[in-house]
Amino acid sequence: MKLKHVMIVLKKEIKDLIRDRRTIISSIVLPMILIPLINIVMGGSIQKLEKDMNENVTVALSQSSNTAEVRELVRDRILSKNPNIVLVDADDPARAIENDEIRCIIDVENTYAEKLNKGQPIKITLQYDESKTKSQAAAEIVSMAVGEFSAEVVEERIVAMGFDPAILQPVQVEWENIAPADKGNNMMLEMLLPFLISMLIAIGGIPAATDLVAGEKERNTFEPLLTTLPDRGSLLLGKYFAVTLFSFVSLVAILVGLAIGYMVNPNSLTVGIDSGLQGIMLDPLAIVLALLITIALGMTFSGIQIALSTIAKSYKEAQTYLSFLMLATMVPGYATMFTQATDLSPVMFALPVMNTVAAFKMLLGGRIDYFNLVLALGTSIVFVAVTLAFAASLFKKEKVMFRN
């Protein structure tokens, strides 16, 4: 094995990948445009939906409750402090909900006035359509308004009895955030960005790996390549580094797209949920270690991709095998998505994919633990060695290399 031969093979494979416009467009250009575009569109839709659900909440009284007295009670007492809730007339409230003319129906029992005067509880029923998100949200908003009205009535009764309303609140709870200033609250960013980075770096080299071995077998160019001066070790490393490089180029392209999306709409990174970059103090050494762990993850999966592409008889068979790698990255990624920086365990730093997710969660959460980062880097190097050794063993087997 000679470095000169490895570089010759690497340059050859890079030129082949660059010439393949289909691979460049599908793996770099389109994701760089589509992923931030989808995030911006989804974020805008979510923000619009939330705004629509909380503003101009239209409600109506049930037919049995639609009297002047009930209307006055609902409009002037229950909804008076909630200008976003609009009481409208509806001849058929149930049909009005079905036609999206209103979102919720308020039904007040007929004996409400008598019970209020006697100090007895009254029953108010909120009718909504559970199949409609806006209707369900409206019922919750109106329920809070009814709760506020109930608290006002209780306070009025306590005052009428000559007592101080403060006796109803024997304990007051105050919230105080004692987290250090450098421990930001970036929950949505901690959930999405580490998962996205680990998944993209793990699967980014799939198109290149599929073409560089299985594709050459199908084009009948692999056997002539084996007769050239570079030995099989040099051929393997040349292809291996090309796949690794391609996976990082794909990741960088998509991250550039995400950065552009962030400049257009800062909430695009968190799919429309308000979550600014709060209190992130990036430690330089931790950044270096996290990047090295990411590089090692990319190299680990490049070895697996080369191995699976070598085993495959054809391009299509390689695509089938390599498609399972997406599942292999998504399962641990989703399993740790809701884990925050304070909940990370050393076991996560010793497992592939999870270690990259954990490293970036640690960075974004400001909870730096160098022991765990070094553990993740050490185990990652072991995974790289194992997968590369496995791919090298396949390159030495004639029955695998010449399967067709």
Compute the average pLDDT of residues 42-69.
77
Lowest mean pLDDT among 16-25, 32-41, 323-332, 354-363: 32-41
Per-residue model confidence (pLDDT) at position 318:
86
Q: Confidence band (pLDDT; 50, 70, 90) for 179?
A: low
Compute the average pLDDT of residues 43-51.
63
pTM of the model as a whole: 0.67
pLDDT above 70 (res 77): yes
Q: How far apart are CA 59 and CA 135, in angstroms?
A: 10
pLDDT tens, position by position, 83-122: 888 898 888 988 998 888 898 999 999 888 888 888 888 8
Per-residue model confidence (pLDDT) at position 374:
93
Per-residue model confidence (pLDDT) at position 44:
60
pLDDT above 80 (res 236): yes
Which residue's entry shows tokens 């609009």?
A: 86
In the chain, % of residues over pLDDT 70 = 87
> What does the mean pLDDT of the chain come to?
82
Helical pair 133-160 and 30-54, crossing angle rounded to 10 deg: 40
Task: Return the top range by mean pLDDT from 113-122, 218-227, 248-257.
Answer: 113-122
Per-residue model confidence (pLDDT) at position 143:
92
| Nearest CA-CA partner of 323 in 234, 212, 202, 242 | 202
Class of domain 55-168: alpha beta
Lowest mean pLDDT among 150-154, 271-275, 317-321, 331-335: 271-275
Q: Confidence band (pLDDT; 50, 70, 90) for 305?
A: very high
Say if residues 285 and 293 touch (Cβ distance below 8 Å). no
The full set of domain ranges for the chain reads 3-46+183-401, 55-168
Per-residue model confidence (pLDDT) at position 267:
64
Per-residue model confidence (pLDDT) at position 381:
94
Q: Confidence band (pLDDT; 50, 70, 90) for 274?
A: low
Per-residue model confidence (pLDDT) at position 321:
87
In the chain, % of residues over pLDDT 90 = 14
Q: Confidence band (pLDDT; 50, 70, 90) for 299?
A: very high
Task: Provide the terminal-to-terminal Cα distance of the chain, rounded to the nearest Å.
Answer: 27
Per-residue model confidence (pLDDT) at position 378:
93
Cα–Cα–Cα angle for 313, 318, 321, rounded to 5 degrees: 120
Q: Which residues pair with 127 in a beta bridge?
A: 105
- The CA–CA distances, whole Å, from 276 to 85, 184, 258, 273 equal 30, 10, 15, 9
Q: Confidence band (pLDDT; 50, 70, 90) for 388?
A: very high
Per-residue model confidence (pLDDT) at position 46:
60
**Both tokens of residue 296?**
């090692």
Coil/strand/helix, residue 176:
coil
Per-residue model confidence (pLDDT) at position 60:
92
DSSP string, 309-366: HHH-SSHHHHHHHHHHHHHHHHHHHHHTTT--GGG--TTGGGSTTHHHHHHHHHHHHT
Per-residue model confidence (pLDDT) at position 231:
82
